[in-house]
Amino acid sequence: MISVTNLRKQFNGAAALDGISLDIGQGELLALLGPSGSGKTTLLRIIAGLEQADRGTLFIDGQDALPVPPRARGIGFVFQHFALFRHMTAADNIAFGLTVKPRAQRPSRKAIADRVQELLSLVQLEGLGARFPSELSGGQRQRIALARALAVEPKLLLLDEPFGALDAKVRVELRHWLRELHDRLGLTTIFVTHDQEEALELADRVAILNAGRIEQVGRPREVYDRPGSAFVMEFLGEVNKLQCHIAAGRAVLGKQGGPSVDAGTLPAGPAVAYVRPHEIELDPKTPVGACDTVVRSLSVIGPRTRLHLELGGKLIEADADRAQVDALALTAGMTVRIRFKMVRLYTTSPSGMGYWRGSDGTTGQAPIENIRRSLPYSRVG
Amino acid sequence: MAVDRRASPKGLGSRLIAVSAASFMALFVVLPLTLIFQQAFADGVSRYLAAIADPETLDAIWLTLLIAAIAVPLNTLFGVAAAWCIAKFSFPGKNILVTILDLPLSVSPVIAGMVFVLLFGAQGWFGPALAAHNLKIIFAFPGLVLATLFVTLPYVARQLIPLMLQIGRDEEEAAIVLGAGGLRTFLRVTLPNIKWGLIYGVLLCNARAMGEFGAVAVVSGHITGVTVTMPLQVEIFYNDYHTVAAFAVASLLSLLGLLTLLLRRWLEVEGRGAVGAGMKGLPT
């Protein structure tokens, strides 16, 4: 169990961590997700002891870990670029943590060799122990780095952008493999990533960081379906962003006279509406909550069709079913009526309240404790 | 390995340039070097050997070796420590340290020698205090070591800083998280990575330490058999019209230079071929 409270860190006067509080359960696989500069790697390095916190506390299994030097924290760390010892073979890399133990705790030469073999087979690289890092592929280096971190039997495994330096295909393979390995070993694991797909697919819970603060923590489904802030909404997947105005409990999307949706209890004033491309439906029949758009372009991506639609002078993207597009014989220039299956509204006030409404009548409000701050509006999803 | 796409010179213009470059090299490098050996052996091998076996020469050789044996290890220690600080940490005054490190390369060695005379000479700042304790630095062995230390200060550090910057801190951090202490991390991770660069830096430092003339000449006082190093001995023999002896000693210094170059060549090949650490590039 890892407990982080109000952690703060400044670099040259700029806040890298601006009061982070987070609990990580035993055996949990947690993703720290955020854009570059959001502080996620700094948080990971402070947990490892490679960076000093200015303020705040860190408890690992009930023990205050901040005064403990990194070498005594019982942590396995996998670096973004693997940081394998380039002058040592893969086997020597894995054995390193065992060979530097104090003499009294150091296993025998034979025990170390056995452990190395065991780990090599765990990471499915039997027979490659004699290779040097430069003779291994990226994915293989990553596995050796992981085996090296596991060799010392850490209480906690930390991975900094573990797939960042790999090409796309290897990345997906290793992702699945890492999840399996985690389930098998049950080791508490924190990994840093800027790839939302990776975080959502791999993690038990995702913590989304922005500008040194946690915007939201939750299970992947939770953060995707109920984004706690406009920032989270924009960061997780593609979105259409429409400026709107709330008056009398309704939000008018786009220009005046545009379609309007129920705004729940959100206060009157300017707000932003988000609609994911796959939450837009082509619906020529129902007039309820509907609006007319003009097809500007249309491209077929496998089974889906990506439409660029003009709504009140603004282009929005929609993912439509191939069959439906074919049935309607859509071409550029045609007018088509659409329906929003789900609209999420966020006020632009500093508290950044969120509210969403589905076409089936379901509504929801972002849990207030998840809301930290509204997004900087320069980010366009 | 990149394929060398450069063609051999074909056109008249490029041939002309190639020929003039080659002639320039021959005139200013190969010819003088040949002349040194030709002059050294002008009166035969026995005269050459006799010149080297001269007690004065032997004293000079011994003194030069001794100075190098003190200055090179000290500057190696300093160079590694300085490069480590500069490459692996950021701290206030870092840029100033880097600049100061270059000072011995940019300032004339004569000035370096003068500074030591001003500090430790009879009329210098510490002169009276030294005299009171009957300590002699200028015109004595300690002065020679100090002057040599000064002029050879940057060589190891200069060689290591870019290498260490390129390698980065990741591997050391990995070693520390894996439980290694500071010394063990240095010996098992840092040192093997910088090995080839370090050896080359030490070679350069040594070549300069043995060949230094200007700074040493100022603090030496030319006391035969006591403060005369090999380069100074060359000058003394030459001024005394002992041409063969002068060139004999000069030939030894030239050999040192050639040996350094040969070792450099070997290091470049070896350092690149060695798995992991390279003098220039990183395999990863």
Q: Kindly list the structural domains of chain B, giving each domain's residue range(s) and its CATH number in brackets, ordered by start.
A: 15-271 (1.10.3720.10)
Per the document, the length of chain A is 381
Per the document, the length of chain B is 284
Average pLDDT over residues A285-290: 55
pLDDT at A190: 96
Q: What percent of chain B has pLDDT over 90?
A: 40
- Please name the residue of chain B whose CA is at the shortest distance from the CA of residue A70: B177
pLDDT greater than 60 at residue A379:
no
pLDDT at A132: 95
pLDDT greater than 70 at residue A34:
yes
State whether B178 and A152 contact (CB < 8 Å).
Answer: yes
For residue range A173-195, list pLDDT tens digits in order.
888 888 998 999 899 999 999 99
Higher pLDDT, A299 or A263: A299
pLDDT at A329: 84
Q: What percent of chain B has pLDDT over 70?
A: 92
Which residues on neighbouring strands pair with residue A273, listed in sequence order?
A: A242, A345
State the Cα–Cα distance between residues A46 and A9, nearest whole angstrom.
Answer: 9
Give me the helices (H) in B133-190, please: 141-152, 154-167, 170-177, 182-185
How far is B91 from chain A, CA to nearest CA, in Å?
Answer: 12
CB A357 within 8 A of CB A363: yes
Give chain B's mean pLDDT. Answer: 86
State the Cα–Cα distance between residues A360 and A288, nearest whole angstrom.
Answer: 11
The DSSP secondary structure of B84-142, one letter per residue, reads HHHHH---TTHHHHHHHHHHHHHS-HHHHHHHHHHHHSTTSSSHHHHHHTT---TTSHH
pLDDT at B220: 87
Q: Which span out of A206-210, A220-224, A246-250, B267-271 was modeled with the highest average pLDDT? A: A206-210
Average pLDDT over residues A246-258: 77
* CB pairs < 8 Å spanning A and B: 86
pLDDT at A82: 92
CA quadruple A136, A139, A142, A147: dihedral, nearest 10: -80
CB A84 within 8 A of CB B167: no
pLDDT at A378: 27
For residue range B236-283, list pLDDT tens digits in order.
999 998 888 899 999 999 998 889 888 888 888 876 644 333 333 333
Cα four-point dihedral sign A88, A94, A100, A106:
negative
Chain A residues in contact with B177 (beta carbon < 8 A):
48-50, 70-71, 73, 75-77, 149
pLDDT at A360: 61
Segment (H or E) for A137? none
Chain B residues in contact with A88 (beta carbon < 8 A):
276
A139 touches chain B (CB under 8 A): no
Average pLDDT over residues A9-16: 88
A residues 83-102 lying closer than 8 A (beta carbon) to B: 83-88, 96-97, 100-101
Average pLDDT over residues B193-209: 91
pLDDT at B274: 43
For residue range B66-112, list pLDDT tens digits in order.
999 999 999 999 999 999 988 888 888 888 888 888 888 888 999 98
Higher pLDDT, A271 or A97: A97
Instruction: For residue A335, name the pLDDT band (cuts at 50, 70, 90).
Output: confident
Interface test with B, best of A45, A81, A100 (most B CBs within 10 A): A100
Instruction: For residue B122, name the pLDDT band (cuts at 50, 70, 90).
Output: confident
State whether B177 and A101 contact (CB < 8 Å).
Answer: no
State the Cα–Cα distance between residues A116 and A151, nearest whole angstrom.
Answer: 8
State the Cα–Cα distance between residues B283 and B274, nearest whole angstrom.
Answer: 10
pLDDT greater than 80 at residue A369:
no
Helices and strands per DSSP (H, E), number in chain A: 9, 22
For residue range B145-179, list pLDDT tens digits in order.
999 999 999 999 999 999 999 998 999 999 999 99
State the Cα–Cα distance between residues B34 and B182, nearest whole angstrom.
Answer: 50
How far is B184 from chain A, CA to nearest CA, in Å?
Answer: 8
Average pLDDT over residues A35-56: 94
Q: Which two tokens stand for residue A58?
A: 């860190």
Q: In what order do the strands lie in the sheet with A250-253?
A: A260-262, A250-253, A240-247, A269-275, A342-347, A354-358, A363-365
Cα four-point dihedral sign B3, B8, B12, B16:
positive
pLDDT at B276: 35
Residue/partner pairs of A170-174 with CB below 8 Å, 24 or more apart: A170/A137, A170/A138, A170/A139, A171/A198, A173/A139, A174/A139, A174/A142, A174/A143
State the Cα–Cα distance between residues A20 and A26, nearest whole angstrom.
Answer: 19
pLDDT at A131: 95
Segment (H or E) for A254? none
Instruction: For residue B194, name the pLDDT band (cuts at 50, 70, 90).
Output: very high
By mean pLDDT, which of A25-34, A240-249, B49-58, B268-277 is the weakest? B268-277
State the Cα–Cα distance between residues A350 and A372, nearest whole angstrom.
Answer: 9
pLDDT at A225: 86
Out of B174, B192, B283, whose CB is closest to A83? B174
pLDDT at A359: 57
State the Cα–Cα distance between residues A215 and A131, nearest whole angstrom.
Answer: 43
Predicted model pTM:
0.81
pLDDT at A130: 95
Interface test with B, best of A87, A94, A131 (most B CBs within 10 A): A87
pLDDT at B62: 92
B residues 183-242 lying closer than 8 A (beta carbon) to A: 184, 188-189, 192-193
Cα four-point dihedral sign A39, A45, A47, A49:
negative
Radius of gyration, alpha carbons of chain A: 25
